[in-house]
Amino acid sequence: MGNILTSAFDEIYNFARANSLWPLTFATSCCGIEMMSTACADYDIARFGSEIFRGSPRQADLLIVAGTITQKAAPALLKLYEQMAEPKYVIAMGACACTGGMFKNDSYSVVYGVDKIIPVDIYLPMCPPKPEALLDALMKLQEKIKSETVEHRRKYLAENKPKLLYNQDVLLKEKLLN
């Protein structure tokens, strides 16, 4: 009986969370333009309950990393993530956010994938992903949320703690941390 109640509660809880993801207004480069387009009338992200882009991380539970992240910006990204409310989710939007993209081979200043810093739920490659692709990533995230339990999520977060291992020595030297 207890299990039936728990899973019924999880289902309701997940349904509400999946259909009311509030993204943080955060973009660093060209992919951000596609993210902004997704919120416009043509694509209408409001159909998925995610039209409320928040200016404060404390009011957001979805971080769409739209654009290139430099090592200098890495501590700011981590801080924003840590200030977001739990449960929180991350979409890495674009080749740059997923792997460093076109900068991967010859740039000393770009982070080669934001999963070096924060846990990523959905990877959305392409350069840039179109608004339709971002909506598809959002639907995949909704499916993921609907299929997990609170326990699953706790375990996932315990195993994927945010970290700033990427060239931490360089960042410390430049006093970009703390």
Question: Rounded to the nearest whole angstrom, what is the least distance from the CB of residue 97 to ligand SF4 in the complex?
Answer: 7
Strand order in the sheet with 62-66: 62-66, 89-93, 122-124
Q: Cα–Cα distance between 95 and 97 in angstroms, integer?
A: 6
Q: Cα–Cα distance between 93 and 129 in angstroms, integer?
A: 7
Q: Please pick, from the candidates 57, 94, 113, 131, the single residue that binds ligand SF4 as defined by CB under 6 A.
A: 94
- Spell out the alpha helix ranges (H) of 21-149: 31-38, 74-83, 95-99, 131-147
Question: Rounded to the nearest whole angstrom, what is the least distance from the CB of residue 128 to ligand SF4 in the complex?
Answer: 3
For ligand SF4, which is the closer residue by CB, 96 or 135? 96
> Who's near 11: CB < 8 A, 6+ residues apart?
146
Q: Please pick, from the candidates 38, 68, 99, 142, the single residue that binds ligand SF4 as defined by CB under 6 A.
A: 68
Q: Please pick, from the candidates 39, 96, 110, 117, the single residue that binds ligand SF4 as defined by CB under 6 A.
A: 96
Of 49, 65, 67, 143, residue with least CA distance to 103: 67
128 lies in the site for ligand SF4, by CB under 6 A: yes
The site that binds ligand SF4 (CB under 6 A) totals a number of residues, namely 12
Question: Rounded to the nearest whole angstrom, what is the least distance from the CB of residue 98 to ligand SF4 in the complex?
Answer: 8
Rg of the chain taking only CA atoms, in angstroms: 17
With CB under 6 A as the contact rule, which of the stretches 55-63, 92-100, 144-152, 166-174 interacts with ligand SF4?
Answer: 92-100
- Spell out the alpha helix ranges (H) of 19-161: 31-38, 74-83, 95-99, 131-147, 150-159
67 lies in the site for ligand SF4, by CB under 6 A: yes
Question: Rounded to the nearest whole angstrom, what is the least distance from the CB of residue 67 to ligand SF4 in the complex?
Answer: 4
For ligand SF4, which is the closer residue by CB, 23 or 128? 128
127 lies in the site for ligand SF4, by CB under 6 A: yes
For ligand SF4, the binding residues (CB under 6 A) are 29-31, 67-68, 94-96, 101-102, 127-128
